[in-house]
Structure formats: C-alpha cells, structure tokens
Structure 1
Amino acid sequence: MSAAKIVRGRQTGRAPTRGSGRGRQPFRNWSGHVHAHPHTYSSPASADELSGIVASAAAEGERLRVVGAGHSFTPVAAGNDVMVNLDALSGIVAVDESRRRVRFGAGTRLRDIPALLEPFGLALENQGDVNPQSLAGAISTSTHGTGLGFTGFAGTVTGLSLMGPDGRVRELSADAEPETFDLARVSLGVLGVITEIELRCVPAFDLIAEEKVAGFDELLDGLEERMRGADHFEFYWFPHTETVLTKTNTRVAPGMAGTGNLAEAGVRNRWATLLDKEIVENGALRLAVELGAKVPGMVPSINRIAQSVVADRMYRAPGYDVFVTPRRVRFNEMEYALPFAAGTEAIREIRETIESKGWQISFPLEVRCAAADDVPLSTATGRESMYIAVHRFIKEDFAEYFRVVEQILCRHGGRPHWGKIHTRTTADLRGLYPRFDDFCELRARLDPQTMFGNRFTDSLFGLDAR
C-alpha cells in the first residue's frame, strides 16, 4: 500500500460460523442440482487454522474445495474429500482511502459489503442481481453485473493472497508476482485458496431506476444502442410473449438530482421495495411456475398474463439496493457471454427455436452486457460482451432446453459462465481463451498434485480424474 491514509483492522458484517467434522457430510448447492459428500467439512476461524487444514490435506493426498454460498449451478465447488467454508475469514482487512482500495477477507459475502464500505463513503463499482455469494467465489467464477462501462468483479481486483498446498500464502498484485496475479484473478479455485482480496472501489452512488415494458422486436432492433446509451441496462423476456421488461439504471451522486425526466424520480420507500421484490415478484413468480410445472400447457397463457400486468415505474435508491433482487424461487441456470455484436441474432434464434420446438418455458430469458477486460479467464476477456441467460424452475427438466440453446450460443462464439451449467470441454475452452494454456501451465507449477480440484475442474482443464 502507498503512504496514503490506510485504515487497518477487521470489520465483520455477519457472525462467522465455525466447526469441522469427519464422516460424510452432505452438501447441496442452492438449486439442489449438485450433491457431494465430503468426509470433512471445515470452517476455519483464522488463516493459521486454514493453513493447517490445507497442509494436512496435502500430506494425506486428499483434494480440497472451497465453498461459499453454494450458488454455482455447476459442481465447481463440490468435493468428496475436504470442503472448506471461509465465512469466518470475512470483513475489511485494510482500506487505502486515497486510492479507494479495500482489502477484504475472502469469505466476505457480497450482501455484507455495502454496510462495511458505508463508513468510508465507498461502494463496489458494479454488482449483479444476487448477493449471497462469497467475494472469493464471485471473483473466481467471473461473476458480473451489467453495463458496458464496467467489467465483472475480477476486473476490479488489485491484489490477492493465495495459499498453496504447503499452507503458505503468497501476496499477488501487479507489482508482486504480476504474471501469477494476472492469471489468478479468475481461477475457479484450482490455483490455491484465496484468503484475501483487494478491490478497486468507487465513491458511493445512487441509481435512478427506470423499469419499462417494450416490444420484443422493437427492442432488439435498437438493443446495442440502448445498451451503449445507459450506465446499466438489462432486459427480461418471458417466452411466448411479445413484450420485454427493460431495466435502465443511471448513476448519480447521493443528494444530486437527476436530469430531464429523471429529476422526477423519488427515493424508494424500503417497504414499497420489499412489497415489490418479495411479494409481487417472488410470490407471483412462484405461483406461476408451480402452476406451469403441474400444467405445462398453461405456461404461454400464464406468461402473457404476467407480462400484461407489469407497469412502468421509476425510483431512486442506493446503488446496491437497486442492483440486487432477492431470488426466492429456485431454478437452474445456463449463461453465455457472446461477442457484443452477436447477441441480438442469438436472441432471435432462441425465440424461434422455443416456438418451433413447442417447449413451454415459464422462466424468463435475461440479457445483460459488460465491458471488455484483460483478465485471462474472464468471460469478457478481450471483448465487449452480451450475456444471455436461460433458466428452468427446479421442478422442471432443463436438459433438452439448455442443450439446444447452448448449441446456438456456441455457434455465436459464446463463452460459458464458469459457475453456470454448460458442457464445454478442454478443447472448446482452449479455442475461446487465448491464454488458456498459460493458465494450465501455472496450475501445474502451483499445484502439481492437483489437490485444489475435483472431477469437474479436471474435465475443464484436461486432467484425468483422480
């Protein structure tokens, strides 16, 4: 850190958990699709305790996976030997206020970060629409929000602490082991255990949110312009309907009025937000998908009714309150990052395919965008990206829908989200990431016994399953 004002210490945003045990421990991810039964599940209370767990696993020839919220839809965090949760390694470690850099414990949950940053007048640059994940998990799977002026989380990383098989920690940054730091910013947890993360933050900001219904074809005809003209833009399309729900968010400093029609945006009442997000959005969606799962033939009618009652609205709130929407209705998800210019045509193909196949799809398609970055295994490395996500309710089979949509997205040069369902192989990934082999070589140096992995990550990086 520089000689600028630095605050050190640890502030926690939630009570840490602690404990460990041997004997098969059940693990299920958020959607319930992924299951594992590690013989040891540990929640170390300190980095020293974690070091002992890692060194012991290495000595016994066991594999170790780190898990946060279990929000990945792939088995990326699942393990059959040792699983470790880092909730106790959370909170702020240090703040460099002049450079707006904040160092966090790797187990810090995204939902806790706004309160931790508030005393310093800072915020994360951008966020996605869910926030239970651990910071390390979000970084390691290339999690992102939306907005062509902003990268995913990994693009804001300025430093990492990485623990190797021997339990020792190496400090990584653009100045300290820059090549390792560069490749480790998105690592799927296979290079070691990330214990601390330093992020570039920004001054706290509000968002003026505009939610409007638009025609499907009309929106797609001008989609690229809409995305380029907004700080943050995304839309949701319920299959079998002719309209979409658009969400445009404009950044303003706290206390500063918006311009033009945005000046009319009032501060959002928290109770009104709770009503909309918890009761209207989650409650209505649950009723719709439960009914659709029982009577699939009703899905098109249900979707059209649901879309017809959506009303335009505009409001203002702190950025983190606008970005995040609680997800109480569980689903499975696949998401791909496409070259920005390829997104519109891919969306049209997906729509045509849904209708031609006669599928009954109750969950919406979600479309976002992100700036290009230079993180080697980021889904947006080297190119502006349009993200297309498809979902299915947990009580519905996703296999055929995801398989066919994945074929469309791959034809358009899509890269799969590392934490969401996909079927890409080592050969596929090598063709999508220019520095893929560099990453594999680094992994071989840092973890020659591949203890930080599982059968799923082996299949991604060309290793025989152990």
Structure 2
Amino acid sequence: MTPVRWRNWAGNQRAEGIDVRHPRTTGEIATVLHEASVAGRRVRPIGSGHSFSGIGRPEQVQLVLDRHADLVDIAPDGLVTVQAGIPLHRLNTALAREGWALTNLGDIDRQTVAGALSTGTHGTGAAFGGLPTQVRALQLVTPDGAVLDCSADHEPEVFAAARLGLGALGVLSTVTLQAVPAFALRMEEGPMPLAEVLEDLDGFMTSADHVEFHWFPHTDTCLAKRNTRVPVSEGLAPLPRWQALWEDELLANGAYAALIATGRRVPALVPPLARFASTALSPRTATDLSHRVFVSARRFRFRESEYAVPRDTVPGLLRELARQTVARGWRLPIPTEVRYAAADDVPLSTASGRDTAYVAVHVPARSDPTDYFATFEAMAADVGGRPHWGKEHGLDAARLAERYPRFGEFVAVRDRLDPTGVLTNAYLDRVLGAPVAVA
C-alpha cells in the first residue's frame, strides 16, 4: 500500500506517510485492529476530518469508515441502527423520508455518526442534550479484535464511556440512536443588542426550545436565533429558494469570506466592516423540517476553540472577551457563538453533571490563533470551563481530571480495553495520559 497524506477540514492538522484502510464490515475492522496490535502499530479512526483538535490525526494507520456507512434498520419505536461511518446529512435525509428525526443536532451535518459521537457534538437547547445522549446501544470493536455489543444493560461501563469515547476505547461499528417522530422548527432570527441578551441571559436562552446567538466582535450587536418545535401537521413555510440563496449563501457565507479576505490584506478594516455587517442583519422567520433549520452551510474555512462553562459565567466571559479584543488589538472577522445544553450522565461529556453554556470563538483557517485562543482558554479555565474534544485547546490529563468528576472512570475503561495504546496518538496521550502498559 502506498503511503498517503492527510489533512483535516480546516487544514491545521496534517500527516504524511500513513497507511489508509477502508473496511467494509465489522470483521474487517477487527482484522485491521488485530494486525496493528500484533505489529505494535497505532491506528486512528477518522470520519469527515471536521475536528480542529488533533484527535483524529493518524500517526501510522488510518481507518476510514466511508465503506461502512449504511442505514441498517429503523424500528417501529424509532430506534435507528446505522453503520457508524454514515454521515449525519445522509442519516437526516433517510430519517425524514420515513417520518423520523433526531431530537437535536449541531449546526453542521458533514460529520459521520462515529466522529460526532466520539467528539461530543452538540446543538443548542436548554432542555436538550448532545448527540451522545441519544445513543441506546452500540457495537465496539476493541484493539484486540474483539466485538462488544454494549447497552445500558450489557457491558454498561463500556457503554457509558463509549457514547463519547474519543475513539480511544475501540472503533464504533454500529450505533443505535433513539429517533423521534419528525417535527418542524419555527425559526425566528434577527439582530439584538448584546447588552439586552446578557441582561437576562437565562430568560433569553429559554425563550424558545432551541436558542443561540452570534456576537460580532468589535460591535455591540448579535444575531439571535430562536427555534420553536411545532408539529409537521401544522404545515411548513420554508424560506423561498431565492431568499435562502441570497441571505445564506451570498450575504452570510459570501460576506464572511469577503471580510476574511479583506482582513487578511488590511487588518485595520476588520472592525469597521464587522460593524457594517452587523447593521445589515434583518429579521426573518420560516418553518421547516427540523434538520433543515438546525443545520447551516459553512462555505468558508475557519479554526475554532469552544469551551463548556457554567451558564451564569457567560455575561462576564463575553464582556472580558470584548475588553481583551480592544486591549490586545485583535482583528476578529468571525462571530462568537453561544449555545445551551442540558446536563447529562456521559463521563466525558462537556455537559456531564451540569447544565451548560457553550462559548465558541473562531479565526480564519490560515491565521494564527495562538494569542486569542490562549487568552480565551485562560478565561474559561477561571470559571471551570471544559474544552470541546474536537476543538482546539491546550489542556492535559492532569488539568482535565480536575474538571471531569468521572475522568478516572473513563481512563480505567480505556486502560482495560487498550492497554498497549493501539488507538492512541499524541493528542490522546496528552489529554488522557499514556495507557497503563506504555506509561
């Protein structure tokens, strides 16, 4: 096999000289892992490569599930079983066709089910958890080639951890998710003063089922998004195609791309252009199937750092971020995003054991985020923030263990299933520590 090169979606993670395998079956996944274990080689499974952290970066062997990506079954009670390499956008379409939906989604659907679960992908909604909370069963291929069928009743410790397993416990082969009857979302979007949002943040973030806002740095304005769940039977009123193309493709993606390009050439223009862009926002409403409203197209490349923090810390965090933006002279063309999620019981979930707010900051893909991300990370650390596993951060196992009450529980499962580190890489060695047999 000819060694190949790999890069992630944002281009900030790269590898060369790797062997790439495309297994079609659970048995073939087991063979790849067993052979690597015997040979003392490291394997990293990869989905769409949409993570910004080094979690998916291969060092020797890359395992790609693009040929293990089918819908297996949809049961009458909405339990949907899929091969773990299926992308979310294909799953959403298949579910909608049969009258089902996932109860919550993030704003990007290019990830595979395995990748989205393994990094803790979440959407927004004060009463709703992330994607791992929707898992009801999974099949895990361990580094020695064994196949474990896991659920709350069978291999419960492995199941609890593997719902968000970082690809460190084994390779997900199949996943069973709890779908819900298809529903629509009534979308309400428009500009709001940041001060008004922060004055009663909980009130604003619970004013509809799924609420988020995007604050434009260098301005006092944000784009507020409220989505309310409504029955499909009440009828759909989606945005006209011309309006969606004009506002989402030309104005939103086109404006961001132009702002990024201009800022790269003339950084001083970013603040006035950001203020102009924020004044161009206009209110809009529509009603459409849930997955069409949850998901937004991203036509420009960026890098991202996101922290889960206690909800009551968000106003102070954003005010300090605004102060630091001026003091440090940053030029930030991409908005900061704030979302909510309910507490859950997943050991390495960023919302494990606490109701959570997410604050995400971004820079253009080809820029250096070091000072911005490090300053943001320090601010989030002061309030007990937990980094999103798929986004950029600099924390190690010692500091993460302080923030996750069940961190030791997860590491113990990892050490039992992968004691020789077949599935580790430099990122996992940093955030989890080396497995017991190689420590």
Pairwise TM-score range, normalised by the shorter structure: over 0.9
Q: Deviations over 1:147-191 (max 9, x none)?
A: 011100001111110001222211000111111111111110010
The aligned runs of 1:31-110 (5 Å cut-off) are: 31-98=10-77, 100-110=78-88
Which letter maps to 1:449? T
Per the TM alignment, residue 286 of structure 1 is displaced from its structure 2 partner at its CA by: 0.5
SS in 1 for 2:56: coil
Which letter maps to 1:253? P
Which letter maps to 1:133? Q
How many angstroms apart in 1 are the aligned matches of 2:167 and 2:254?
35
How many angstroms apart in 2 are the aligned matches of 1:267 and 1:138?
27
Which letter maps to 1:255? S
Q: Give yes or no for contact 2:157–2:413 (8 Å, CA) kept in 1.
A: no
**Which moves more between the two structures, 338-347 or 362-371?**
338-347
The aligned runs of 1:29-428 (5 Å cut-off) are: 29-98=8-77, 100-256=78-234, 266-428=237-399
Query: Can you give the 5+ residue segments of structure 2 that lack an aligned partner in the other structure?
Result: none
Q: Give yes or no for contact 1:293–1:395 (8 Å, CA) kept in 2.
A: no
Whether 1:429 aligns to 2:403 is no
Instruction: State the match for 1:7 in structure 2.
Output: none
Per the TM alignment, residue 271 of structure 1 is displaced from its structure 2 partner at its CA by: 4.1
Per the TM alignment, residue 266 of structure 1 is displaced from its structure 2 partner at its CA by: 3.3
How many angstroms apart in 1 are the aligned matches of 2:324 and 2:269?
19
Which letter maps to 1:272? Q
Whether 1:28 aligns to 2:7 is yes
Per the TM alignment, residue 229 of structure 1 is displaced from its structure 2 partner at its CA by: 2.3
How many angstroms apart in 1 are the aligned matches of 2:250 and 2:107?
17
> Alignment length, in residue pairs?
437
Which letter maps to 1:23? T
SS in 1 for 2:54: coil
SS in 2 for 1:248: strand
SS in 2 for 1:382: coil
How many angstroms apart in 1 are the aligned matches of 2:398 and 2:117?
24
Q: Give yes or no for contact 1:230–1:250 (8 Å, CA) kept in 2.
A: yes
Q: Give yes or no for contact 1:66–1:85 (8 Å, CA) kept in 2.
A: yes
Give the TM-score of the pair, scaled to structure 1: 0.91
Q: Give yes or no for contact 1:123–1:202 (8 Å, CA) kept in 2.
A: yes
Q: Give yes or no for contact 1:38–1:82 (8 Å, CA) kept in 2.
A: no
How many angstroms apart in 1 are the aligned matches of 2:97 and 2:188?
28
How many angstroms apart in 2 are the aligned matches of 1:278 and 1:119?
26
How many angstroms apart in 1 are the aligned matches of 2:315 and 2:179?
32
SS in 2 for 1:437: helix
Q: Identity over aligned residues, as a percent?
A: 40
Which letter maps to 1:39? I
SS in 1 for 2:262: helix
Instruction: State the match for 1:10 in structure 2.
Output: none
SS in 2 for 1:76: helix
Per the TM alignment, residue 268 of structure 1 is displaced from its structure 2 partner at its CA by: 2.2
SS in 2 for 1:327: coil
Query: Can you give the 5+ residue segments of structure 1 that lack an aligned partner in the other structure?
Result: 1-21, 258-264
Q: Deviations over 1:312-367 (max 9, x none)?
A: 11111111111111111101000000012222211111111111222111111011
SS in 1 for 2:357: strand
**Which moves more between the two structures, 267-276 or 355-364?**
267-276
4+ residue runs of structure 1 moved beyond 4 angstroms?
A: none
How many angstroms apart in 2 are the aligned matches of 1:212 and 1:148?
20
Q: Deviations over 1:381-435 (max 9, x none)?
A: 0111000000001232111010011111111111000000000111111011111
Q: Give yes or no for contact 1:38–1:79 (8 Å, CA) kept in 2.
A: no
Q: Deviations over 1:115-135 (max 9, x none)?
A: 211243110111111111010
Q: Deviations over 1:43-98 (max 9, x none)?
A: 11222222221111111110100111100001101111100110111122122212
How many angstroms apart in 1 are the aligned matches of 2:258 and 2:169?
43
Which letter maps to 2:65? L
How many angstroms apart in 2 are the aligned matches of 1:156 and 1:187?
14
Which letter maps to 2:370? A
Q: Give yes or no for contact 2:317–2:379 (8 Å, CA) kept in 1.
A: yes
RMSD: 1.4
**Aligned in 2, Cα 1:132/1:188: closer, same or farther, shift over 3 Å?**
same
How many angstroms apart in 2 are the aligned matches of 1:38 and 1:426?
28
How many angstroms apart in 2 are the aligned matches of 1:86 and 1:46?
9
Which letter maps to 1:438? E
Whether 1:457 aligns to 2:432 is no
